[in-house]
Structure formats: C-alpha cells, structure tokens
Amino acid sequence: MKQVIGAIRSTGAGMLALSVVAAALGAGAARADEKVTLGVAIPTADHGFTGGIVWWANKAKTDLEKAHPDLKIIVKTAANAPEQANQLQDLVTVNKINALVIFPYESASLTQPVAQVKKKGVYVTVVDRGLTDTSAQDAYVAGDNTAFGKIPAQYLAKELDGKGDIVALRGIPTTLDNERWTAFTGVMKNYPGIHILDAKYANWNRDDAFKVTQDYLTRFPHIDAIWAADDDMAVGVLKAIDQAKRSDIKIVFGGAGSKGMVKNVMDGAPLIKADVSYSPKFIYDAIKLTAEARLKGERLPATTIIPSVLITKDNAKEFYFPDSPF
C-alpha cells in the first residue's frame, strides 16, 4: 500500500494506511489512451495550513505535467463556498475537465455542486473535508481525523492526571471537524474529573481564535488546558493568554505539525509540549494518485487514510521541516 503514496513523515508510524470502504460507483472509467484534464479546487491560503495546501497543489501541477505529457492540471483557489461552487461550473463548462480533486471549502454547501460535476461523467476525488453525501464522490483521501481528536485528548488526560478544566476551539463546520470533536469528547467521557467548559468555532483562523480565547479567559477564572485543535489557532490562543497575563493554563495543544509549533516542542516551550501530525501534503498525494490512475484508465480505492502521529520532544526533529511553507 505504501507504493501508492510516499511516506508523509519520516517515521514508521507515519506510513499510509489504506482502507477500502466500498467499490467506487459513479463516474465512467477513462480509457488508458485518453488525455486527462484534471481540475483542482481548493481554498485560498487564508491561514498556514491552507497555505501549505496551495503550495503542494501547485507543486503537484508542476511535477506531474512535466512527467505526463497527456496530463493538464488546472488549479483554482476560492475564498468562500459560493466562489468554489462557481469555479466547479467553470471547470466543467470552460476547461472541460474529466477529473476533479476538490478540497471542499465547506462540506454541506459543496455536496450538491460536486454531485452535479460527477453526474457529468467527471471522476471526483474529495480531499480532507468530506461531503455530506459520499455518493457524490468516487474516492476520498484524508488525514486520520479520528486520531487527530483522540491523540490530544489522551495526552491532555494523562498530563492533567484525569482532572481539570478544559476549553476547546473547533474549526469550520465540516465532517472532519465533527470527526475530530467526536473522537476528542469520546476519550474525555472516560475522565469524569475533566470538565469541558465550552467549545466554540474559531474557523482555523488566528484572529478568530484570539477573540474566542479572550472570551474564554474573561468568563472562566480558571482553565487548566486549551485544545486549540489547529496550530494556527494555537498562535491566537497563545497571544490571548499572554495579553491576559494568565498563569493558570498549563498546556495549549494545537494540531497539524506546523514547523513553528514543532519548533516550540523541540525547544521546550512552556505551554506547547506536544502536537499531532496532519500534513497538507496529502493534496499532492491525492492529485498524483488521481491523475496517474485516470491516465491508466483505473480507479482509486474508495478511501485512503493517512495516520496522525503524536509529536513530542523525543521525536519532534523527525517532523521539523524548516523550508516547508507550513
């Protein structure tokens, strides 16, 4: 299974796990001699993680078009869900794509537009932010969102010795955010001494996370730990804590393994003691898998999941890439 995608991280635990959920139905099979015009629809680089998504998508275009003369890749970035839906129409009617790799801006609002693309015979690979109706896609590639929520919960429960007050920040309302939150709270149900005081959406955004954390710090006189659930949001959380001069908070746990947060773990930053991997490189892998399969007239497995790994001071060097955009 490892041959279909390169290792996401230089650790054995970071190798890909492939889970075939069901035989893909829908878009017609391409002929092996058919040229592939592949559309890539992704969010704009509005924070570090999506900056990494954009960088890896464009790298895939450069690398794969050079390697495959019969392949054309069109990358579109959107600042919101309606813009992305409009771009899908253009990709089909103007660019005449016969394959699509989409990182949906949102899950629910993009499901019907993607389904319409698939009905036109376009092969669809959805990445990371899943659709609310899986029949609208042919394949799904994502990080392990269950582990992304489970690993921080287990870590915080252990570090807090099973008791304390926690607040949490969520991302954008998507299937992946729901998976993470369900996994996190599922672990915490085993620790009745840990109280989740509140959880609000902060949109994977530093400024929004700063405002949400300001609200938490105003309302709650004592907080033991904050699950920021994203490294960009963790930056906003740390800024709010510093500005409020709060000393009660022992741990801020982000997520995704950004180079800044991994460096904090390496350096022994007082609040950033661990992180969890979730590389934006999976957009590159999804584009490569889809393009090469369609050039051969083949289909992908229904689901490909990339494991998440706990990053601590002991293994942080393996996850630190200073030249990466994220």
Q: Please tell me if the domain spanning 2-144+279-308 has the same topology as the one spanning 145-276.
A: yes
Q: Work out whether strand 310-311 and strand 275-276 pair parallel, antiparallel, or are unpaired.
A: antiparallel
Closest C-alpha among 147, 104, 107 to residue 127: 104
| pLDDT of 11 higher than 50 | no
Q: Write out pLDDT tens, residues 163-222.
A: 999 999 999 988 889 999 999 999 999 999 999 999 999 999 999 999 999 999 999 999
Average pLDDT value for residue range 269-279: 95
What is the CATH topology of the domain spanning 145-276? Rossmann fold (3.40.50)
pLDDT score of 280 more than 70: yes
114-163 pLDDT per residue, tens: 999 999 999 999 999 889 999 999 999 998 999 999 999 999 999 999 99
Place 308 in a pLDDT band, splitting at 50, 70 and 90.
very high
pLDDT score for 8: 35
Distances in Å between the Cα of 209 and the Cα atoms of 69, 233, 234 are 44, 5, 7
> Is the pLDDT confidence value at 230 over 70?
yes
Whether residue 28 is predicted with pLDDT greater than 70 in this model: the reply is no
In sequence order, which ranges of the chain are alpha helices (DSSP H)? 48-67, 81-93, 108-119, 145-159, 175-188, 206-219, 231-244, 259-267, 282-295
> Is the pLDDT score of 281 beyond 60?
yes
**More confident call, 110 vs 29:** 110
| In the chain, domain spans | 2-144+279-308, 145-276
Specify the 3-state DSSP secondary structure of 125: strand
Mean pLDDT of 3-20: 36
**DSSP letter (8 states) at residue 317:** G
Neighbours of 58 (CB within 10 A): 17
Residue 130: other Cβ atoms inside 10 A: 22
Fold of the 2-144+279-308 domain? Rossmann fold (3.40.50)
Q: Please tell me the pTM assigned to this model.
A: 0.72
**Model confidence at 7, in pLDDT bands (50, 70, 90)?**
very low
Q: Which has the higher per-residue pLDDT, 15 or 161?
A: 161
> Given pLDDT bands bounded at 50, 70 and 90, which one contains residue 27?
very low
